Structure 1
Amino acid sequence: MITTDAAPGSPCWLDLGAPDVRAAAAFYGAVLGWEYQPMGDGGDGGDEGEAGDGESPEGGVLKKDGKTVAGLGTLTEEGARSAWMLYFAVTDADATTEAVRRAGGSVRVAPRDLGEWGRMAQYSDPLGGQFAAWQPGADTGFELADAPGSLSWTELCTTDARAAKEFYGAVFGWSYSDMNLPGGGGPYHLITPAGLAEDRMQGGVIEIGEENLSLTGGRPYWHPVFAVTDCDAAVAEVTRNGGSVRMGPQDAEGVGRLAVCLDPSNAEFVLLTPSEN
């Protein structure tokens, strides 16, 4: 379960870099009921999924029922692709940066202060999967999670699950428990933040072949899972508003009904209507 308490190692923020902010806001508004609130700054610059370079002409936050759920900004770097970036809470971004280096990852954006709000950094794991860290200041991150229209799960698609588990375990102290996917889909590795009970599971690691990573040229990637009350209705909005469906909607035993989708700029995300326990 993802919460808003910004426990160390847990997801606390996500943002999307889009080539057309207004079009992206309209798309996710239709699919997830989000409202776009512009701000004077488009975010921090970089590569995949980042929302600009601090001088973007447009950016802001996305809200559900008045609560902030994500960030949105202009994708400005040449050659970058639109994608969601997941941020994990840390107590010391500088120490996390050193842990990333020791574990074989690379630093894409060195730790920097964002005013009084907090301190952030962005990285790549040893296989190229991109992620970020947030050291909370006045802002602990999103204000709504594990509810319809908000982040409910995170997932790393990688070519080497064992190596990924070792890396992220070294950086964040995550613990893992393994399960087999329904229908013979192979092993799935469930993530729990360091020191927390398994009811705080926040995501999973799944190993897939490089041929299934065409969106990123064979590079691993994280994608967000958003809770919805009706997966099929939300998927209908995806296609009605220019997005596409990569898989589903389909039922996953013990999980719920889900679909893997692309927005009109090919940023991947998952829609999930959780099963009733």
Structure 2
Amino acid sequence: MLTTHYVPGAPVWLDLGVPDVGAAAAFYGAVFGWEFRSAGPDAGGYGMFDLDGKTVAAAGPLLGETARPAWMLYFQTADADATASAVQRAGGTVRGEPMDVFTAGRMAQFTDPTGAEFATWQPGDTKGVDAVNLPNSLCWSELHTTDAVAAIEFYRQVFPWDMEKTPMLEFDYTVIAPSGGGQEASHGGIMQFPPQTEVTELRSNWHPYFEVEDCDAAVATAIEHGGTALMAADDAPGVGRMSMLLDPFGAQLALITSEEP
């Protein structure tokens, strides 16, 4: 389970790249009740999504001609430069060299060997988002990949993760957790696209899961405001009721109403 007691390898930040930040703020405000707060005139349009006074995510305009709308997950690292070296040794690509973000922290952006983009955050003044695992906040991170074996081998070399394979109906699902934290500390999963899926038409991607109080109601609100349901709300025994969506710009996210422990 995610907490804000962040440790190396855990998701600590997430932001959304979109062509229209104002429209994104309206969509996510309707679905989650978030309020957008600009990071200031020097931030290039970047800002925070707040919920009840706590930062739960961020958003900014797309940078670069080839950039696509997407959620970016940031995993904590104690040394962004060392992680960049580990990514290269493991066969990944450094898309954005480690750089300081004022005194907030040090970030870097990468692509894994299967094409999924992710980022790291070396904390400074900002340790991470202020709230997780609460309604309308991040509760899980998931990699959908064209090659789960290659992805697992890559991330083993980059992050201090424990990985446990869990058989599902048609595929294997690998649960990831900070080293030594056990299943209780799990924060995400890795799965290969289902066999019947035309993987040539898909891109490997990391995407967030957001906890919601009523999955069906949240999906209906998302669709009403321009989102698209890739997977209708459905029950996953032992997990909860969940749905996979695209926001109005094409960024993928998932919603879940978790089962009570």
Which range, TM-score by smaller chain? over 0.9
Q: 1:99-147, CA deviations, whole angstroms, 9 ceiling, x for partnerless residues?
A: 1011110100000011111000000011111000000001001000011
Which stretches of structure 1, 4 residues or more, deviate above 3 A after TM superposition? 209-214
The alpha carbon displacement at 1:98 in A equals 0.6
| Contact preservation (8 Å) 1:19, 1:76 | no
1:137 match: 124
Structure 2 distance, partners of 1:36, 1:96, is 31
CA distance in 2, matches of 1:209, 1:259: 16
Are 1:34 and 2:34 matched, yes or no? yes
Consecutive unaligned residues in structure 1, runs of 5 or more: 43-53
CA contact (8 A) 2:8 2:160 kept: no
User: CA deviation digits over 1:159-207, x for unaligned, max 9?
Assistant: 11111111111100211111122xx232110001123222110000001
**The 10-residue stretch of structure 1 (228-237 or 68-77) with the greater mean CA deviation from structure 2:** 68-77
- SS of corresponding position for 1:242: coil
Question: Quick one: distance in 2 between partners of 1:145 and 1:35?
Answer: 16
Map of 1:50 onto structure 2: none
The residue identity in structure 1 corresponding to 2:66 is G
* Aligned counterparts of 1:127 and 1:189: Cα–Cα separation in 2: 16
Distance in structure 2 (CA, Å) of the matches to 1:4 and 1:199 = 14
Q: Does 1:248 align with 2:232?
A: yes
- 1:47 is aligned to none
Question: Which residue identity does 1:205 align to in structure 2?
Answer: I
**Alignment partner, residue 64 of structure 1:** 51
Structure 1, 108-117 or 202-211: larger mean CA deviation: 202-211
Quick one: distance in 1 between partners of 2:61 and 2:28?
Answer: 15
User: How far 1:208 sits from its partner (Å)?
Assistant: 0.9
Query: Aligned partners of 1:185 and 1:70: how far apart in 2?
Result: 33
Secondary structure of the 1:3 match is coil
Question: Aligned ranges for residues 207-222 of structure 1 at < 5 Å?
Answer: 207-208=192-193, 211-212=197-198, 217-222=201-206
- SS of aligned partner of 1:155: strand
Shift of the 13–118 alpha-carbon distance from structure 1 to 2, 3 Å rule, reads same
Is 2:24 the partner of 1:24?
Answer: yes
* Amino acid aligned to 1:122: Q
Following TM superposition, by how much is the alpha carbon of 1:16 offset from its aligned partner in structure 2, in angstroms? 0.3
Q: Report how many residues are paired.
A: 260
3-state secondary structure, aligned to 2:152: helix
Which residue of 2 is the match for residue 147 of structure 1? Answer: 134
Maintained 8 Å contact 2:143/2:190:
yes
* 8 Å contact from structure 1 (residues 5, 140) kept in 2: no
TM-score (norm 1): 0.90
Other-structure match for 1:100: 87
Q: 1:125 aligns with which of 66, 87, 112?
A: 112
Cα separation, 1, equivalents of 2:21 and 2:203: 25
- Structure 2: gaps of 5 or more residues: none
Match of 1:175 in 2: 162
